[in-house]
Amino acid sequence: MEHQELKIMTGKPKLYYFDARGKMESVRWLLAAVGVEYEEVLFKTAEDFENLIKDGNLMYQQVPMVEMDGMYMVQTRAILKYIAAKHDLYGKDLKERALIDIYVEGMRDLNDMIIYLPFSLPEEKQKNLNYILERATERFFPVYEKVLKDHGKNYLVGNQLSWADVQLLEVILMAEELKSGILSAFPKLQEFKARVSKLPRIQKFLQPGSPRKPPVDEAEFEISRKIYKIDKNLLLKHMS
């Protein structure tokens, strides 16, 4: 037992998820941005997931789970906040922290819509895609474009890299996968993307062969439906 505890305290963080982006991808991004190496337990079947639940460490019988610093951490936002705070990507005071939360929550709204797009009913998919593109270009991206333009700094908050910048680059790249020219009306975001992509740790994460996962394809979508036992009738009807 002592030996086991020591291993948990000193080992690399261990990420438990299925072999896809999903909710874990932002955790992968943030760990990459702070230069922390990690291991991944990537399960592939409903049985693997059930076994993980039987181990008893998934508080809500849900993943993502990250084994880190002697804790079995669940709930994506809690995990991300912990990493951001631990590695100084969470502002220098309460107001900066609130701003980072405000920006990140908007980005997560957009990020979640994109993650859930494959769960659309086939006949609703195009409509949902259009809805996401409209929200990205008319609601979310104008906010971050204006922030960067108004303060003229390189990063969103406090003139230094924060969790919000890492999350913004992640969601920009996801949105570009849906529509390549989506940043055409956002010059500040284009500059931001180029700048942050060049930070050495981020650049490394963007290279082929890194732990970054590809967009979900049909096969992965079917695997995830089986793992989490998502019924066909539960597919999203109207994203809006």
Ligand X SMILES: N[C@@H](CCC(=O)N[C@@H](CS)C(=O)NCC(=O)O)C(=O)O
Q: Which residues bind ligand X (CB under 6 A)?
A: 22-23, 61-64, 75-76, 228
Closest distance between ligand X and the C-beta of residue 145, in Å? 27
Nearer to ligand X (CB atom), residue 6 or residue 78: 78
Nearer to ligand X (CB atom), residue 13 or residue 64: 64
Classify strands 14-18 and 39-43 as parallel, antiparallel or unpaired.
parallel
Side chain identity, residue 29? W
Side chain identity, residue 54? K
Q: Are 118 and 216 in contact (CB under 8 A)?
A: yes
Q: What tokens appear for 78 in the block?
A: 């809690």
Nearer to ligand X (CB atom), residue 76 or residue 167: 76
Q: Give the whole-angstrom CA distance, residue 64 versus residue 75.
A: 7
Nearer to ligand X (CB atom), residue 62 or residue 160: 62
Q: Which residue of this chain has its Cβ atom nearest to ligand X in the complex?
A: 62
| CA nearest to 49, candidates 221, 224, 216, 220 | 224
SS3 (DSSP) at 112: helix
Closest distance between ligand X and the C-beta of residue 149, in Å? 32
Closest distance between ligand X and the C-beta of residue 42, in Å? 13
Nearer to ligand X (CB atom), residue 62 or residue 137: 62
Nearer to ligand X (CB atom), residue 27 or residue 164: 27
Closest distance between ligand X and the C-beta of residue 56, in Å? 15
Beta carbons within 8 Å of 198's beta carbon, 6+ residues apart: none
Closest distance between ligand X and the C-beta of residue 210, in Å? 21
Closest distance between ligand X and the C-beta of residue 22, in Å? 5
Order of all β-strands in the sheet with 39-43: 39-43, 14-18, 65-68, 71-74
Query: Residue 158 region, left (φ>0) first, then alpha (ψ -120 to 50), else beta?
Result: left
